[in-house]
A and B are shown apart, each in its own frame.
Chain A
């Protein structure tokens, strides 16, 4: 499943760059994120709950920053499974930051998400819609928190 988008944050690039490295902040922006912690220099662990109608799932994800060129580009791999391991999620995402004038930052992102196991067999179109709406929720929350200066570090 390929997803992509771009959005603008009313904050300078460095601030945004720090924000995307801040697990506590991200945890508050990712819809359904129940906990997040840094577990290595470029490694994070998160528990995310997602629900579509009567179907719900809780994934434990390990997120690794696999490449970065501060403060422009970031490549992230996420991998996780349900507690019951009945399904597995992998995602590879790329994020690019650029100045958008007036102290604003443009964020361009693309993500290839793959869900296998019990949740991967049905409803592709719906999953994509759900992922898109979760992305949109994240963008709104992220922009608001960064713009209101909620960056921890």
Chain B
């Protein structure tokens, strides 16, 4: 897609403008959290728990305090009793009373140098009473299971979904009459699927820097996806008024969900308050694996039925999620996974149920896709399985069942724009679907396809647009750009609304003191929701500017129009005023400086509460739907069973691409992350201990094993979106494991029940196929 010659492209929106901060990044001058230093700053190190589950009986920090360079030590005794959490407030700033996973921070030291802090941490004595550990959700539900959160009933719950014992939440969604529907099915497929824990591995490990001023007010810089969630989490856990904490962000070295909720910001703030000096705490890569968060392992039981023509009649999905030690975003992930378990198809009878269980592992939480890749892995394979039984081509099978424009989603959400069919057409054509790839000797090769839908939206957001004295524009949204380019896309929306060049718009860094609230860079939401706020705020600036111009030119507002370059003109005339003149008047003569603001919370009621039984969905109002279709060409080595993706095509309906190149990269980057998840990325536990918390043992895709990904942008404008845009951040990842599994199924026969699809898992299937032949 060549944006330069697209007639629908505006002056700013629709152009592949390079990202605003690229120059500092290509010259090495971008500053991430570990690049920040404050005068008199201390360095922190963390002591992790050696047990997965234990009571803390006592601490002795005397030796550590006496060690060279040590200025302060904190333990659970030093932090207030407050608890934080997005859904259930179950987590202290630092372990208090109990430890709930191996590696959980139990104490921290601030010292003059990092080496001194690391040496001193080992001098802290903690006496524990070890308790039996819960290492799987199944074990957590056993009648005599040890209980992790003994006071669970008393915790504050933002969203209460039947928490009891180790059951963190449960959800059931239903539509139609599934039990009765099976009788009418000509084909029924059923299977159990498991997916593994995936680590985010943002290239930048998590870190924070906190400093308290003379008034006792704390300034906190951290690697995050939301300065506001950081503020909320720190203040809840440390029982501070939110006005006493200012949360900021330097450049962020990637975040795929892991930097959304708190990591070590609360304990860093506690250390800064204890020592009265600035404290920086940056995790090692190993700690980043061990104590932040990861993608939930799922166990999925799924059953799907269709009639003899391949029309889907019923789907049942039951999931069991490992929550880890703290609820974090898990209830949301489970609810969302269930909502997406039917996929983008018309299925009249559906039931989805889930249980989320606390275990003594690090917390699982938000990770790009938010439960969708896991259920899609099961769902999309069952679509292929039915197609095989009915001798239908997988694409034909899908066409017969596609969610059509005008159709609603499972349990009621409205779907406005729907470019799914166009996505399917696009990948079918681009990948030459009908042509079977030639396998090299010693390999098996096949194509696979999967579809996906994903929601962008949710919760509060805002924007403030100011016209500066000279007519240039300052945009402030509070949305953290984690590298994906939201600052640029939002500047483009602002520039387009005001018809000024993008270079005339500056974007403020998120700051809880000065930025309007933004829930966060998550849920594929910034372009869609914050973009709406930006368009609204810029529109307000324009309205005010028009008012000034009308007075200045002495014509009714209705006679004015906005022209390129930021000029307001009398229709049909050459008479116009530049923004500079208007803003000058507003600043110095009349009316006051021009400031526009707009806030919103996604407010379409999107599901029928009666169909989300009692403990249903965590998000009553959720968002708008993007769609995707992905085709992969997979080659499997017959000697070892190792699968490689040789080429991929991914079409995504993003409503309107504000910046097409940035959308391409979301599709491509999402694809490769999904490929790693599908083929080899796996966090492995040896009993209670994470066995591969390093990049030596946990592998992510490299340039050499990543295929060329053909990204295809489909634009079916979303009526509520800014210039028709909707989200693109996660959807590119969702269908990837399923598409790869479907290619493997086409090459080797059968269904892939377990991720990742390692050589070890595929080799027996090759041997079986050899024997069969």
Contact = CB atoms under 8 A, between A and B. Distances in A.
A34 interface: no
Contacts, number: 38
Nearest to B691: A124
Contacts of A114: 50, 102, 686-689
Contacts of A116: 48, 50, 102-103, 689
Contacts of B103: 116
A90 interface: yes
A86 B689 contact: no
A130 interface: no
Contacts of A124: 684, 686, 691-692, 697
Nearest to B684: A124
Interface string A96-131: 000000000000000010111100111010000000
A127 to B, nearest CB: 9
Nearest to B287: A121
Contact of B687 (A1, A84, A86, A117): A1
B693 interface: yes
Interface in A1-25: 1-2
A121 B123 contact: no
A117 B694 contact: no
A122 B686 contact: no
B286 interface: yes
B26 interface: no
B122 interface: yes
A120 B688 CA distance: 11
Nearest to A77: B130
Nearest to A85: B122
B694 A122 contact: yes
Given A85-B123, A86-B122, A88-B50, A120 B689 contact: yes
Contacts of A85: 122-123
Given A84-B122, A86-B122, A116-B103, A121 B687 contact: no
Contact of B697 (A2, A84, A122): A122
B686 A1 contact: yes
Interface string A18-40: 00000000000000000000000
B122 A121 contact: no
A120 B696 CA distance: 14
A124 B690 CA distance: 10
Contacts of A90: 50-51, 130
Interface in A81-99: 84-86, 88, 90
Contact of A117 (B50, B684, B688): B50
Contacts of A112: 687
Contact-residue bracket for chain A: 10 to 19
A34 to B, nearest CB: 21
A121 B50 contact: no
B120 to A, nearest CB: 11
Contacts of B693: 121
B688 A121 contact: no
Interface in B254-282: none
Nearest to A113: B687
Nearest to B47: A85
A104 B688 CA distance: 37
Interface string B684-708: 1011110111101100000000000
Nearest to A128: B686
Interface in B657-706: 684, 686-689, 691-694, 696-697
Interface string B489-506: 000000000000000000
Contacts of B692: 124
A122 B122 CA distance: 19
A124 B696 CA distance: 12
A69 B50 CA distance: 30
Contacts of B51: 90
B127 to A, nearest CB: 11
Specify which of A86, A120, A122 lies most central, judged by the most chain B CB atoms within 10 Å of its CB: A120
Nearest to B130: A90
B116 to A, nearest CB: 14
A150 B35 CA distance: 63
Nearest to B289: A121
A115 B286 CA distance: 15
Specify which of A2, A115, A116, A122 lies most central, judged by the most chain B CB atoms within 10 Å of its CB: A116
Contacts of A115: 689
A88 B122 CA distance: 11
Contacts of A84: 122
Contacts of A121: 286, 693-694
Contacts of A1: 686-687
A110 to B, nearest CB: 13
Contacts of B684: 124
B251 to A, nearest CB: 28
A111 to B, nearest CB: 11
A103 B714 CA distance: 81
A115 B51 CA distance: 10
B377 to A, nearest CB: 27
Nearest 4 A-B pairs (CB), nearest first?
A85-B122, A88-B50, A116-B50, A124-B691
29 contacts: A1-B686, A1-B687, A2-B687, A84-B122, A88-B50, A90-B50, A90-B51, A90-B130, A112-B687, A114-B50, A114-B102, A114-B686, A114-B688, A114-B689, A115-B689, A116-B48, A116-B50, A116-B689, A117-B48, A120-B689, A121-B286, A121-B693, A122-B694, A122-B696, A122-B697, A124-B684, A124-B686, A124-B691, A124-B692
Interface of A: 1-2, 84-86, 88, 90, 112, 114-117, 120-122, 124
Given A88-B50, A120-B689, 11 more contacts: A84-B122, A85-B122, A86-B122, A114-B102, A114-B687, A114-B689, A116-B103, A121-B694, A122-B697, A124-B684, A124-B697
Interface of B: 48, 50-51, 102-103, 122-123, 130, 286, 684, 686-689, 691-694, 696-697
